Amino acid sequence: MRFSQLFFSTFKEVPKDAEVLSHQLMLRAGMIRKVAAGIYSMMPLGLRVLRKFEAIVREEMNRSGAQEVLMPSMIPSELWKRSSRWDHYGRELLRIKDRHGKEFCYGPTHEEVITELANHYIKSYKQLPINAYQIQTKFRDEIRPRFGLMRGREFLMKDAYSFHASWESLDQTYRDMAATYRRIFQRAGLKFKAVKADSGAIGGDHSSEFMVTADTGEDAIMECLSCDYAANLEAAESHHKGQEMGDIETKTWVYMADQKPISVILKSEDTINEIKLRKALNAQVLYLSETTPETGLDAIVDLRLSGLGYEKLADLRNVKSGDICPHCHQGRLQEIRGIEVGHIFQLGDKYSHSMTATYVDEAGQDKPFLMGCYGIGIGRSIAASIEQNNDKNGIIWPVALAPYLVDIIATSTADETLNTCAESLYGELLGENIEVILDDRDESAGLKFKDADLIGIPFHVIVGKKFLSEGLIEFKSRQSGAVTMLKPEAVLGHIQTLLRAAKD
């Protein structure tokens, strides 16, 4: 590609509404363009990055034995009514009527569609397990979209669904997916952490989130400084040493749990974790009541107040930095921030049961499928990569995601010697199928350097005054800033060596 022909332009100034760095840089680099709140067009540079990540996801999913399908983005309401999510999903679900008045939703996730597919095609336990995935545009009518691709309403997601005849088989695929996710994020050059997540009504230790660590992350993660325990704050626990006696200050709130008021008592320095509370009370609808605490109400009390003599005890608090690890009982917990880029989850028979999707087992009996689901936010992942890889000059793409690997810059377009050399290097790299872009614009050298840095192309090949004086090409790494002087005929080999190294 030639810069002079590329459909893009870079910007010095950034629209005021771009808050986070990844959003600002993608706008400035001409990678994305907002069309409406939380809805973006991908420009060629941005799309190339997206496709790079997608390809990694596809390769690793295929390697794991999963099979790609493509489900529709528009889903008829009947399917969603069968799982009863049509009524329960809330207003994030975009509902649409066609010309006949028939109701559809724009799929935010595809459990219903895939469950119907499984039910249609899979008759016998002999056909199990199956893991099917798609990479597809989803829509969630988020209350407040923000942060560019990080939290859009329309977004590209890889979602996989597995079907099993036994929990053992589900466990196996769950572990395979965890390993696959590790490979995917490793290959993409992301620093990440797999953390225990809230597993909702299903329960058990069967929900993990893959978090890209970044200070700007929206999620709080508690990690142990001594062992490998890590959990989303929502799900994090801590080890506590039995009763605490003496003067303990407490705080009481009144919650309405399925219409019934209940007192919730914690140590005054602690904060309530409503997810834990909801689970402890097994409540559908839970909210903080306006009423003041009064005596005579049922009470539920945090574990750490076990010395006060209440009957109903549960872990109700958010753990804090400095708490003791629930896993090794040794280390202290520390809070870090993360961006959730993936989530793997054992669903069990939640959907197969409500939608009566069954297979015939060895005994000839109809059984609901056991299911797992596994998501990766594609756009969010590349935004997360930028959050992790940038400097004051712009994006620093890892080789695995970069839109182009090499940017060839001739510092003066007026000089035919430089142009000829740049063109010949360009042709040589193209001939070897190296993703190269030639900055042939009639612009100042400074602007080309700035753009190369902003866009984050890993390797810059500069044909300039050193070439005129000594016949040497400057080869610069975006990441380290290191410059190597090379003879023109050595450039290709040097790049090939670096690319090979980047693959390992």
Partner RNA sequence: CGGGGUGUAGCGCAGCCUGGUAGCGCACCUGUUUUGGGAACAGGUGGUCGUAGGUUCAAAUCCUGCCACCCCGACCA
Give the x-and-dash track for 25-54 against RNA (CB under 7 A). ---x-----x-xxx----------------
With binding defined as CB under 7 A, does residue 142 bind RNA? yes
Task: Figure out which of the listed residues 46, 331, 377, 403 binds RNA, where binding follows CB under 7 A.
Answer: 377
Number of residues lying near RNA (CB under 7 A): 69
Q: Which stretch binds RNA (CB under 7 A): 78-86, 120-128, 138-146, 292-300?
A: 138-146
Task: Figure out which of the listed residues 2, 5, 17, 78 binds RNA, where binding follows CB under 7 A.
Answer: 17
> In the sheet that 250-257 helps form, which strands lie side by side, from edge to edge?
286-288, 250-257, 260-267, 299-302, 313-314
Task: Figure out which of the listed residues 7, 13, 245, 365 binds RNA, where binding follows CB under 7 A.
Answer: 13
Question: Scanning the structure block, which residue is given the tokens 């290709």?
Answer: 492
End-to-end, the C-alpha distance of the chain in Å comes to 27
Q: Which is nearer to RNA, 16 or 99 (CB)?
A: 16
The tokens of 23 are what?
Answer: 């959003």
Q: What is the Cα–Cα distance from 448 to 313, expressed in whole angstroms?
A: 64
Q: Min. distance of Cβ 10 from RNA in angstroms?
A: 4
Contacts of 501 (CB under 8 A, 6+ apart): none
Name which of 102, 101, 39 is nearest 75 in CA terms.
102
Task: Figure out which of the listed residues 15, 322, 427, 471 binds RNA, where binding follows CB under 7 A.
Answer: 15
Q: Min. distance of Cβ 445 from RNA in angstroms?
A: 4
247-266 residues near RNA, rule: CB under 7 A: none
Residue 236: half-sphere exposure toward Cβ, Cα within 13 Å: 29
Q: Min. distance of Cβ 215 from RNA in angstroms?
A: 14
Q: Are 367 and 358 in contact (CB under 8 A)?
A: yes
With binding defined as CB under 7 A, does residue 272 bind RNA? no
Secondary structure (3-state) at 40: strand
Q: Are 354 and 84 in contact (CB under 8 A)?
A: yes
Q: What is the Cα–Cα distance from 397 to 382, expressed in whole angstroms?
A: 9
Q: What is the Cα–Cα distance from 321 to 332, expressed in whole angstroms?
A: 7
With binding defined as CB under 7 A, does residue 14 bind RNA? yes
Count of C-beta atoms within a 10 Å radius of residue 246: 5
Q: Which stretch binds RNA (CB under 7 A): 136-144, 223-231, 327-335, 395-403?
A: 136-144
279-338 residues near RNA, rule: CB under 7 A: none
With binding defined as CB under 7 A, does residue 493 bind RNA? no
Q: Which is nearer to RNA, 264 or 305 (CB)?
A: 264
Give the x-and-dash track for 417-446 against RNA (CB under 7 A). -------------------------xxxxx
Q: What is the Cα–Cα distance from 93 to 81, expressed in whole angstroms?
A: 13
| Alpha carbon distances (Å) from 263 to 250, 274, 501 | 12, 13, 60
The tokens of 475 are what?
Answer: 């080869």
Distance of CA 205 to the CA centre of its chain: 20
Q: Min. distance of Cβ 20 from RNA in angstroms?
A: 8
With binding defined as CB under 7 A, does residue 350 bind RNA? no
445-474 residues near RNA, rule: CB under 7 A: 445-447, 449-454, 462-467, 474
390-419 residues near RNA, rule: CB under 7 A: 393, 411-414
Q: Which is nearer to RNA, 166 or 393 (CB)?
A: 393
Q: Min. distance of Cβ 157 from RNA in angstroms?
A: 6
Element (H, E) at 115: helix 111-121
Q: Min. distance of Cβ 245 from RNA in angstroms?
A: 33
With binding defined as CB under 7 A, does residue 218 bind RNA? yes
Show the 3-state SS of 53-95. Answer: HHHHHHHHHHHCCCEECCCCCEEEHHHHHHCCHHHHCCCCCEE
With binding defined as CB under 7 A, does residue 367 bind RNA? no
Task: Count Cβ atoms within 10 A of the Cβ of residue 159 and give its class: 0-12 exposed, 13-18 middle, 19 or more buried.
Answer: buried
* H-assigned helices in 151-205: 167-187
Q: Which residues bind RNA (CB under 7 A)?
A: 9-17, 19, 28, 34, 36-38, 90, 92, 140, 142-147, 149-153, 155, 157, 209, 218-219, 274, 340-343, 375, 377, 379-380, 393, 411-414, 442-447, 449-454, 462-467, 474, 476, 483
